Amino acid sequence: MTNGTPAETGLEAIVLEARRVRDFARITDAIPYARFLGIDVDVKGDEITTCMRYRDELIGNPVLPALHGGTLGALLEHAAIFELLWTEEVKPLPKTINITVEYLRSARPRDTFARAEITKRGRRVANVYATAWQDRRDRPMAQAHAHFLLR
């Protein structure tokens, strides 16, 4: 979630520089909440996979145990924003209008991965679909549909 103040050109400049040198770590390092969740991004060609490294602080149900549902939602939102930042010329930064998260399975205490795909990019709004999985990509833990305001 961002607002339209001129101060945010800082992150925009980081995004442009990261795209130029093709180093995604510059973006994740600049976002405190992404560092807090342990998120890093694997870039292969034009495909990016967002990874949330397992840490004990992500546990939401110590009995099962399972990751907190909110962390999965946050991971999916990160994946959707990163997909827009990396593959589309978006300026200013996209603002989340809404996100719908569907939880399919409980997430085990392991690394979690997410990938997003832009269903439609309009002039003002982009529709993005994201899925998160752990061991097998055909067994997703959660999926999300989100709308982003692009200007």
Binding positions for other proteins, rule: CB under 8 A: 1-3, 5, 7-11, 30-37, 56-63, 67-71, 73-75, 77-78, 93, 95-103, 106
User: Which residue lies nearer to other proteins by CB, 44 or 112?
Assistant: 112
Residue 81 buriedness (CB in 10 A; 0-12 / 13-18 / 19+): buried
Which residues lie below 8 Å from residue 78, measured CB to CB, with a gap of 6+?
A: 34, 37, 39, 50, 114
User: Which residue lies nearer to other proteins by CB, 48 or 146?
Assistant: 146
d(CA 19, CA 13): 10
User: Which residue lies nearer to other proteins by CB, 5 or 46?
Assistant: 5
d(CA 90, CA 149): 10
* Nearest-approach distance from CB 21 to other proteins, in angstroms: 19
* Nearest-approach distance from CB 105 to other proteins, in angstroms: 9
* Nearest-approach distance from CB 39 to other proteins, in angstroms: 10
* Nearest-approach distance from CB 45 to other proteins, in angstroms: 27
User: Cα angle at 104 between 103 and 109, to 5 degrees?
Assistant: 85
- The pair of structure tokens assigned to 109 is 């205490």
User: Which residue lies nearer to other proteins by CB, 54 or 117?
Assistant: 54
